[in-house]
Amino acid sequence: MYTMLLKIRPTQLGVFAKQLLRVKRQYVCTKRGQKFLVDPVSVFGLELLCQGVYEPQMSRFLELVLRANDVFVDVGGNEGYFSVLASSLIQNGTVHCIEPQSRLQRIIQENISLNCVNSIVVHPIAISNQQGEVNLFLRPSTNTGASSFFRHWKLGSTYEKVPTTTLDAFFQRNSLERVRLLKIDCEGAEYLVIAGGNNILKKHQIDFIAMEYHESICGWEKCAEIHKLLQTYGYILTKCHGQCIYHLPGLEQELQSLGRLQINCDWHE
């Protein structure tokens, strides 16, 4: 039933059907033994319910590179899945979960509490190229992770104003000297995130940057600018099963067990 509801188009009709049937969030346990309160009629919730893992390639990458005492910055934390996963890997390290959607704050805190972790700091803000405010256009509850600064869909126009800061300012405010992994998933705003981090990128304060390119949202030119900017600061792009991983030179050796790697490639290869 959950799969059928998620496939209903337009999406708003599926949300209405979900409400009519009074579908509620439910608890699910992952293959690693972590617990989450998920919406079964959502992209995230259904995958976790059916597979016991969300985005397995990214999950495996976190398990490979994160170590005890590391710092992980999760830009676009959504319901906290990757932040909770990271917290189980870093022991005495710190996780910074950055998620601006007000409707998700209670869920993130619930998922943190379910796993009894105290290493996650939640920041209800957005990362951009300047400090201020921005309109965040909200996708329906079936796919909250697709909410974006850019309204790139036809139906629905709900939005909320959210505060923004830059990567440089965020690192300074939280006294971050070294970050093992920065994960960026912000639906087309990747360029804005990178553009606001010139100082930390120049100083090589981040080992790995994992991100998705949303060419259909921000356009080919912006994607090319992101790649060029990161290359300018000395970062190398390695791809594995379509996952883009930028890193400092030499760190590609730590990725070998992920499988077949495309090392020092272009973003669109």
* 269 domain residue, yes or no: no
Which range, of 25-29, 39-43, 187-191, 230-234, averages the lowest pLDDT? 187-191
Looking at residue 140, its pLDDT comes to 85
* 50 domain residue, yes or no: yes
Whether residue 73 has pLDDT greater than 60: yes
Looking at residue 111, its pLDDT comes to 98
Looking at residue 246, its pLDDT comes to 97
For residue 227, what is the DSSP state? Answer: H
* 18 domain residue, yes or no: no
3-state secondary structure of 107: helix
In 44-177, beta strands by DSSP E: 71-75, 94-98, 120-123, 126-127, 132-137, 159-165
Residue bearing the bigger pLDDT, 1 or 88: 88
Whether residue 267 has pLDDT greater than 90: no
- Per the prediction, the chain carries an average pLDDT of 92
Query: What pTM does this model have?
Result: 0.94
With beta carbons less than 8 A apart as the criterion, state whether 107 and 80 touch: yes
Beta strand 94-98 pairing with 120-123 = parallel
* 65 domain residue, yes or no: yes
Cα–Cα distance for residue pair 27/48, rounded to 1 Å:
10
Which range, of 19-23, 92-96, 211-215, averages the lowest pLDDT? 211-215
Whether residue 153 has pLDDT greater than 60: no
Looking at residue 154, its pLDDT comes to 60
* 253 domain residue, yes or no: yes
* 6 domain residue, yes or no: no
* 167 domain residue, yes or no: yes
3-state secondary structure of 38: strand
3-state secondary structure of 151: coil
With beta carbons less than 8 A apart as the criterion, state whether 15 and 142 touch: yes
Whether residue 151 has pLDDT greater than 70: no
Query: What are the residues whose beta carbons fall under 8 Å from the beta carbon of 14, sequence distance 6 or more?
Result: 5, 6, 7, 8, 41, 140, 142
* 13 domain residue, yes or no: no
Cα–Cα distance for residue pair 171/257, rounded to 1 Å:
30
Query: What is the per-residue pLDDT across 178-221, written as a single tens digit (0 to 9) for each?
Result: 999 999 998 778 999 999 999 999 999 999 999 988 776 777 78
Looking at residue 145, its pLDDT comes to 78
The domain that holds 48 is classified in CATH as 3.40.50.150
The fraction of the chain above a pLDDT of 70, given in percent, is 96
Q: What is the domain range of residue 259?
A: 24-263
What is the mean predicted confidence (pLDDT) over 2-24? 88
Looking at residue 241, its pLDDT comes to 84
What total of structural domains would you count in the chain? 1
